[in-house]
Structure 1
Amino acid sequence: MNPSDPHEGQPDAEPGAEPDSVFDEIRRERSSQSFAKSAALRLIGLTVVALAAWIISRNVSWTDTLVLENATGKVELPGTIAGDWRSTEIEFEMDVEAAGEAPLAPLGLDAADAAALEESRDIGRPWMVRKGELILPGGRVLLVVEGTPDAQGARPAKQIDWRPGMVRTFREIRVLQLIPALGFLILASLCVATRWWRILILNHCRTSWYNAFRFTYSGLFFNAVVPGINGGDVARAIAVVRHHPTRRAEAFMTVVVDRVIGLIGMILVGTVLVLTTDERLAPLRLPVSLFCGAILLGAVLFFHPSVRRLVRFDALVQKLPQSERLLRLDATARKLLHSPAELGIALVFSFGNHVFNGLAVYTAASALGSTLGFQDWMTTMAISNTLAAVPLSPGGLGVGEVLFGSLAEMLGSSYALGVATSLVYRLCLYAMSLLGGLVMLLPAGPARGPASGPESEPESSAA
């Protein structure tokens, strides 16, 4: 299954780009952009980050919270959890000052029950809370959730739950459980490197897998150390273009096609997961299905020969700025489309990448104490990463946290735990990205890739 290049007479490529030269190339690439455009993009990015930070601050609880809900109303009481909040039984002491006057009034409790709760609060005795039960200091079960074994005299409730604040969530993280998360992220990056390697070879940019691996990790490193949203792709593109001086345009376009294939795979994964999840995500089914359908329909129409002839696609593109580059990008994408086996393999590696990322998110969430399952966090990751891929803020910072928090809350977890999971996942990505700095120090491998695989004719322009 190793792809090959029929261009046996092609000159050897240059060795891989050295780190210093890649830094210089990135600086020149960025300095070529107009100052006004660069400043405007930075301003938009900072505005989005600030807005996301405000949304998070409005939704995240920094202190522990007890949630009580019955047929009359719902209250979220601030306080302190005593014991391990991950267990099925805790003690909760309400913060009297933060709760304010008559905090239990929305529950509509009768005078005796309200007085019992107020008395325990006033004397500073904590409430015992089990999953589905609220127990007064004297041992009386005051509220019980439907489906929990009934206690004599208990009032029915819809929800009795506790949520740790952001501070407790991070303070009690199980650090050793993050090691598997890093391992899953490394496996995901190997899927990306292999997918891109095959796209390179298909477009007659013969490259060893080792060099594709080096270039991928160089991109990960620059993603972490270069400000902005595209440092990693710029570094990867510069490295592979220097490696293929006789096919610079084709090598560059493989980076773009690889990114698009990854995004399409993530959209498909997210759509399938939303449609197969229970009613918790029912409000998302229609918009997600319409979005995915629009993407697939647009792709079919864009690449259909009859449609392209009808709209005179080549003539239209020739009138656009950067028309030659756009035509080369189109040719690179159609080359993959006209190789169904390679397209299928690329999508398989995309799915593998997303599954490993989902496992990393699930592991990070479990280290924080989440009780949601793998499919829940996989769905959260796929939807959040798809929407955060829109370049509104550097690396999707802030946007991803808002999405993680909102989706986690929809799935039955807390907003704070969703935000914390996103931050830990991001930190794990940064840790793996820094490994790219070490990979860049490795010696360059042989320029040529394997000599066996799918045969395809070179394509110099869009047909």
Structure 2
Amino acid sequence: MKSAALTILKIGIAVVLIWYVFAYLIEYDDKVVVVPAGQKEPSAEYVGRLEGDWHADHWVFTAEGGERVFRPPLPPDHQLRPGFFTLLAGMRIPPFLLGLVLWGVLLAFVTLRWMILLRAVGVPTSYRNALRLCFVGYFFNIIMPGLTSGDLVRAALVTRGLEGNRARAFMSVLVDRVIGLFSLLVLAGLVLFFGGVHIEGAPPWLGVVRRYVLLILALAIVLPALYLSRRARRLLGIEWLLRKLPFQQKVAVLDDALTVYRERPGAVGAALGLSVVLQACGVLSFWLMAQALGADLTLPQVYVAFPVVQTVSSLPLAPSGFGVGETMFALFFRGFGSTATLGVATSIVFRLVTQVGVGLLGGVVWMLSREHKEHVDWKREART
């Protein structure tokens, strides 16, 4: 009953956010706006019809009623702002395809990272099987609340048939996810630490984002280090606390599944290094798709926005983070001097390709899998 109510609440949050995005953040009309120097908000705007290739200098904008006609080049304080559907219709294919290729590279590296973590705890598996289970997880990510829900399915299925090391196999998925999010925030943290509020076009609130990102990174380094350190566990009473928790047998098994990585620094280091590379591919993929739609955000700006938005979207607030990512990208794009409409359009295109598209491929993998044909109850497997 509680689970159903929570799911309904999450769907409600997604519906409200999506309604807010499409009702208030998106501009559907093509416009030419006048933005005085030193300001971000327009002082005047013309609504009309945009014709031609607006990515190049081959377009004509006719204001409603034919009162004004604009052609390139525009005056310095004038900006062309295509509407939402004009942006989608005019998307450039080459940068979009390159972004798609980079996302494919990311998926290949994600599978390799998980395989490294599995083998580190004595759970040998082939790359093909790890890739198959990853795609099954992507499928469940789009039909269950939160971006990490598919990880539960992946964790349950990878333990199926194992006599030993089931907890370690299960926890490898959690460690894989944590390392992925940590490396994503590392990229944002590096840009914010060295560039900070001096990033081109930085909004006033970027300083707050900088403090929170660096704080989370510090906690993500210190807390696991304390938990894994034998000396710190004794001094801080962690061992005593674990013995006081209920379900002692399960707690001990899970504790062993986590602390085993203390003895595998090479595997953890390899997973972290691989994560930085694959997350860089993810940021570049998003940036290229934004470029395909006409966004002029710089790479440092995207290296800040993308990790923060993806991290928040991974929280189980709404199914697959729908509405959450769109709202936040709209705020970041507008904050960096672009438009909320471009932020939402980029988020939607990126989501349709990297989440829905990949998830549907995962659905095909799931339908053809032996687990589906054998009607495996993955929820029961997870509880076991």
Same fold, judged at TM 0.5 (above)? yes
- Distance in 1 of aligned mates of 2:188 and 2:113: 20
2:19 aligns to what? 53
Whether the 8 Å CA contact 2:10–2:319 is kept in 1: the answer is no
Relative distance call for 1:276 and 1:406 in structure 2 (3 A) is: farther
- Distance in 2 of aligned mates of 1:56 and 1:320: 47
1:216 aligns to what? 134
The structure that is helix-richer by fraction is 2
Relative distance call for 1:49 and 1:294 in structure 2 (3 A) is: farther
Q: Which of 144, 169, 177 pairs up with 1:227?
A: 144
Whether the 8 Å CA contact 1:253–1:328 is kept in 2: the answer is no
Aligned-residue CA RMSD in angstroms? Answer: 2.7
Aligned-pair CA distance for 1:191: 1.1
Cα offsets for 1:329-359 (capped at 9, x unmatched): 3333332243222111011121122122122
Cα offsets for 1:29-51 (capped at 9, x unmatched): xxxxxx22331243144224413
Unaligned stretches of 5+ in structure 1? 1-34, 97-122, 134-144, 146-158, 445-463
- Distance in 1 of aligned mates of 2:101 and 2:369: 20
2:176 aligns to what? 258
1:433 aligns to what? 359
Whether the 8 Å CA contact 2:7–2:145 is kept in 1: the answer is no
Relative distance call for 1:259 and 1:243 in structure 2 (3 A) is: farther
Task: Answer with 1 or 2: which has the greater Rg.
Answer: 1
Q: Count matched residues.
A: 358
In the alignment, is residue 270 of structure 1 matched against residue 188 of structure 2?
yes
In the alignment, is residue 319 of structure 1 matched against residue 244 of structure 2?
yes
* Amino acid in the other structure paired with 1:431: G
1:94 aligns to what? 63
In the alignment, is residue 356 of structure 1 matched against residue 356 of structure 2?
no
Whether the 8 Å CA contact 1:249–1:325 is kept in 2: the answer is no
Aligned-pair CA distance for 1:203: 0.8
Aligned-pair CA distance for 1:216: 1.2
* Amino acid in the other structure paired with 1:248: R
Cα offsets for 1:287-334 (capped at 9, x unmatched): 322332233233333333333213321332343355544443333333
- Distance in 2 of aligned mates of 1:322 and 1:192: 33
- Distance in 2 of aligned mates of 1:199 and 1:413: 40
- Distance in 1 of aligned mates of 2:343 and 2:227: 37
SS at match of 2:315: coil
Cα offsets for 1:228-276 (capped at 9, x unmatched): 3354212211221114233222211111111111111111112112334
Whether the 8 Å CA contact 1:67–1:74 is kept in 2: the answer is yes
SS at match of 1:409: helix
1:79 aligns to what? 47
Unaligned stretches of 5+ in structure 2? 372-384
- Distance in 2 of aligned mates of 1:414 and 1:346: 36
- Distance in 1 of aligned mates of 2:10 and 2:363: 29
Aligned-pair CA distance for 1:205: 1.1
Aligned-pair CA distance for 1:177: 4.4
* Amino acid in the other structure paired with 1:271: G
- Distance in 1 of aligned mates of 2:93 and 2:361: 19
Cα offsets for 1:104-130 (capped at 9, x unmatched): xxxxxxxxxxxxxxxxxxx62324452
Whether the 8 Å CA contact 2:14–2:319 is kept in 1: the answer is no
In the alignment, is residue 204 of structure 1 matched against residue 122 of structure 2?
yes
* Amino acid in the other structure paired with 2:266: A
* Identical residues among aligned pairs (%): 28
In the alignment, is residue 280 of structure 1 matched against residue 201 of structure 2?
yes
1:311-350 aligned at under 5 Å gives the runs 311-350=236-275
TM-score normalised to structure 2 length: 0.83
* Amino acid in the other structure paired with 1:40: L
In the alignment, is residue 248 of structure 1 matched against residue 155 of structure 2?
no
* Amino acid in the other structure paired with 1:53: W
2:378 aligns to what? none
SS at match of 1:86: coil
Q: Which of 220, 229, 239 pairs up with 2:157?
A: 239
SS at match of 2:338: coil
More divergent stretch after superposition (41-50 vs 426-435): 41-50
2:67 aligns to what? 124
* Amino acid in the other structure paired with 2:201: R
1:310-459 aligned at under 5 Å gives the runs 310-429=235-354, 430-440=356-366, 441=368
* Amino acid in the other structure paired with 1:300: A
Whether the 8 Å CA contact 2:47–2:64 is kept in 1: the answer is yes
- Distance in 2 of aligned mates of 1:87 and 1:321: 65
